[in-house]
Amino acid sequence: MDLTRRPFRVPAIDDRLGDAVEAATRAHHRRRLTRHGWADALDPSPAVDDDWWAPRARMRDGNRLEVLIDGSAALPEIERAIAGAEHSVHIAGWHASPDFRLSPGPDAAPLRDVLAIAAERVPTRLLLWAGAPLPVITPARKLVAKARAEFVRDSRLECALDRRERSMHCHHEKIVVIDDRVAYVGGIDLTALSGNRFDSPDHPRADSLGWHDCATRLEGPAVEDVAGHFRHRWQEVTGRTIPAPRPQPVAGTSSVQVLRTVPNGTYDFLPDGEFTILQAYLRALSAATSFIHLENQFLWSPEVVDVLIDKLRNPPSEEFRVLLVLPAHPNNGGDTTCGQLGRLIAADDDAGRQLAVTVIGPTARSTGVYVHAKVGIVDDRWLTVGSANLNEHSLFNDTEMNVLTDDRALARDTRLRLWAEHTGRPTEELDGPVHEVVDGLWRRICDEQDAISARGGEPQHRVRRLSGLSRRLDRLQGPLRGLVVDG
């Protein structure tokens, strides 16, 4: 046997099998969504002119929307809002830890005490995923049950556990609603499991892994949609009714949609589910003309990657760019992300339109940074932030919530703030044509760090090109995960 040919044969087989399994995954999703009246989520109508909205989600005018980057900005703000609640506090999350602190310092009160104090004044409700039935996945149900017991001990706090997950999936949204007046929607969990959620833009050295993340603060009519979602879930899980959310007056100038993933067959209040996050992403990515900026924990979805591949193979212009910010080591599915990145690398075909990077700590010897944010920005005219990853879990099978706006000033400001955090440059230096900044700064930083590593040195910049990828790396593992686990 000629062993020198084996490295080429195996990837070719991977490619053919990967294509077949991905085709089966797409067909499965299409059959499922078609049965439940959601085929248009996979084939959204083309975005034209200024209409880039998800067709099946309600658009609300007159909102004030703020993007809070990293836990150091979001968590103390949430704590202050809870402390100031006058009518109600409603929280839904993947997991919450009683000893988690929303503010820095040894004197900060644990979450359990913050909520218990609020519950003495106003109805305070906490809705959590009940945890994984099998203890091989975190958090296990035993851990969640223990956390619930601590939350309600000697407290008026109501805490309910939601066991209505699809097999091998979870309730993943992260929302806080205060007085039906202000809502926080994003990706930050109220727990220290796996890393330090209280991170800041400079990602200082810490005792645990830093956690780059984003959330939003929302006021105005769209808050009613967030509050109504919590109410529906709470009432169905507990059987206890709570008052309908009060409509909110105009609070700002931003138009907003509240987007969801709610799997079909999970709740009686939405028996056919909702897939507006998927619909919104596919519609906006397809309409991109200048650039796509995605920050996400995972990049597994073949539906999303298919759109990115088409944009790279048929770019709207020579200046079109795709910038991906992903974790160096996802807490699961790393091979899957590598496989999809391999597809994108092949589609780019050395044209330089696509760049995938990660973010580490201040030095190579620091505890590091985990990219957990779920942010999408297209052409500085479309912005989404929330809990949804770009994998089949979040787009089809977990409960998720994102907010979407066409506020161009906010989209641009958010992009520049994120780019300033990652590159360490002031926003003024980044406020130029996107393709020039990507090529002249982002790509140059990656090239310089790669050169230092090649000489045996220690790279100094926090931005690194995602390495260890080839055009065919792990091509098969992503499709198999999509079919077996995510379907």
Q: Is the pLDDT of residue 263 over 90?
A: yes
Boundary residue ending a domain (178, 213, 243): 243
Select the more confidently predicted residue: 230 or 192.
230
pLDDT tens digits, 353-372: 999 999 987 655 556 789 99
Question: Would you say residue 250 lies in a domain?
Answer: no
Shared domain for 33 and 76, answered yes or no, is no
Residue 131 belongs to a domain: yes
Domain shared by 209 and 331, yes or no: no
Domain check: are 344 and 451 in the same one?
A: yes
Is the pLDDT higher at 342 or at 238? 238
Cβ–Cβ < 8 Å for 126, 175: no
Q: What is the mean pLDDT of residues 224-247?
A: 97
Strand duo 210-212 + 369-371: pairing? parallel
Mean pLDDT of 304-316: 97
- For residues 154 and 267, state if they share a domain: no
| pLDDT value of residue 328 | 87
Percent of the chain whose pLDDT exceeds 90: 75
Residue 253 lies in a domain: no
Q: Which residue has the tokens 């619930």?
A: 148
Q: What local confidence, expressed as pLDDT, does residue 315 receive?
A: 98
SS3 211: strand
Q: Give the gyration radius of the chain's Cα atoms.
A: 22
Burial class (CB in 10 A: 0-12, 13-18, 19+), 283: buried
3-state secondary structure of 147: helix
Please tell me whether residues 339 and 217 are part of one structural domain.
no
Mean per-residue pLDDT, 230-258: 97
Place of tokens 């706090």: 157
Asked whether residue 7 is assigned to any structural domain, the reply reads no
Q: Which residues pair with 212 in a beta bridge?
A: 371
Is the per-residue pLDDT at 262 higher than 80? yes
Q: Using an 8 Å Cβ cutoff, are 89 and 82 in contact?
A: yes
Q: Helix %, strand %, coil % for the chain, to 5?
A: 40, 20, 40
Whether residues 23 and 122 share a domain: the answer is: no
DSSP codes joined into one string, 215-284: EEEEESTTHHHHHHHHHHHHHHHH----PPPPP----SSEEEEEEEEE-TTS-TTSTT-EEHHHHHHHHH
Identify the three-state secondary structure at position 375. Answer: strand
pLDDT score of 6: 35
pLDDT for 9 equals 40
Give CA–CA dist 197/103, Å, rounded.
Answer: 11
- Tell me the mean pLDDT in the region 4-33: 71
User: Is residue 125 domain-shared with residue 168, that is, in the same domain?
Assistant: yes
Q: How far apart are CA 89 and CA 85, in angstroms?
A: 7
Please count the structural domains in the chain: 2
147, amino acid identity: A
Look at residue 2 and tell me if it is in a domain.
no
206 or 486, which is more confident? 206
Rounded average pLDDT over 218-226: 98
Of 196, 213, 243, the residue that ends a domain is 243
Q: Read off the pLDDT of residues 127-158 as tens digits, 9 standing for 90 and up.
A: 999 999 887 788 999 999 999 999 999 999 99
Euclidean distance between the first and the last CA atom of the chain, given in angstroms as a whole number: 39
Query: b or e along 452-475 (b: 16 or more beta carbons within 10 Å of the residue's beta carbon)?
Result: eeeeeeebebbbbbbeebebbbbb
Binned at pLDDT 50, 70 and 90, residue 472 comes out as very low
The per-residue b/e assignment along 135-156, b for 16 or more CB within 10 angstroms, e otherwise, is eeeebebebbeebbeebbeebe
pLDDT tens per residue across span 169-209: 999 999 999 999 999 999 999 998 888 898 999 888 777 78
Closest CA to 216 of 249, 248, 174, 180: 174
Query: Residues 73, 48: one domain?
Result: no
Q: Does residue 84 surpass a pLDDT of 70?
A: yes
CA-wise closest residue to 388 among 193, 186, 217 = 186
For residue 385, give the nearest of 215, 222, 224, 257 by alpha carbon.
Answer: 215
Residue 251 maps to a domain: no
pLDDT of 213? 97
| Structure tokens, 189 | 């969990």
| Residue 205 maps to a domain | yes
Is the domain of 264 the same as that of 238? no
Give yes or no: residues 284 and 340 share one domain. Answer: yes
| pLDDT, tens digit (0-9, with 9 covering 90-100), for 56-79 | 999 999 999 999 999 999 999 999
| pLDDT value of position 194 | 81
Instruction: Tell me the average pLDDT across 434-461.
Output: 93
Q: Kindly tell me if the per-residue pLDDT of 22 is higher than 70.
A: yes
pLDDT at 476: 57
Lowest-pLDDT range of 340-354, 355-369, 432-446: 355-369
Reported residue count of the chain is 487
CATH code, domain carrying 347:
3.30.870.10
Please give the pLDDT value at position 63. 98
CB contact at 8 A, 189 and 94: yes
Partner residues linked to 90 by β-bridges: 125, 177
Q: Mean per-residue pLDDT for 312-327?
A: 97
Please check the confidence at residue 17 and state whether its pLDDT lies above 80.
no
- My answer on whether 219 and 269 are in the same domain is no
What does the pLDDT average to over 95-114? 95
305 and 325 both lie in a single domain: yes
Q: To the nearest whole number, what is the mean pLDDT of the chain?
A: 90
Burial state string for 239-273 with b = 16 or more CB within 10 A and e = fewer than 16: eeebeebeebeebbebbbbbbbbbbbebbeebeeb
Residue 322, burial from CB neighbour count under 10 angstroms (0-12, 13-18, 19+): buried
pLDDT over threshold 90, residue 227: yes
- List C-alpha distances in Å: 68 to 75, 87, 89, 317: 9, 24, 20, 32
In sequence order, what are the residues at sequence separation of 6 or more whose Cβ sits closer than 8 angstroms to the Cβ of residue 88? 122, 123, 124, 125, 177, 178, 179, 180, 242
- For residue 201, the 8-state DSSP code is T
pLDDT band at 468 (very low <50, low <70, confident <90, very high): low
pLDDT tens for each residue of 74-83: 999 999 999 9
Q: For residues 352 and 320, give the distance between their C-alpha atoms in angstroms, rounded to a whole number.
A: 10
Please indicate, yes or no, if residue 29 is contained in any of the structural domains. yes
pLDDT above 50: residue 422: yes
Range of the domain at 233: 65-243
pLDDT at 479: 59
Residue 363: the pLDDT is 55
> Are residues 195 and 354 in contact, defined by beta-carbon separation less than 8 angstroms?
no
What's the confidence (pLDDT) of residue 3?
Answer: 29
Last-in-domain residue among 186, 214, 243: 243
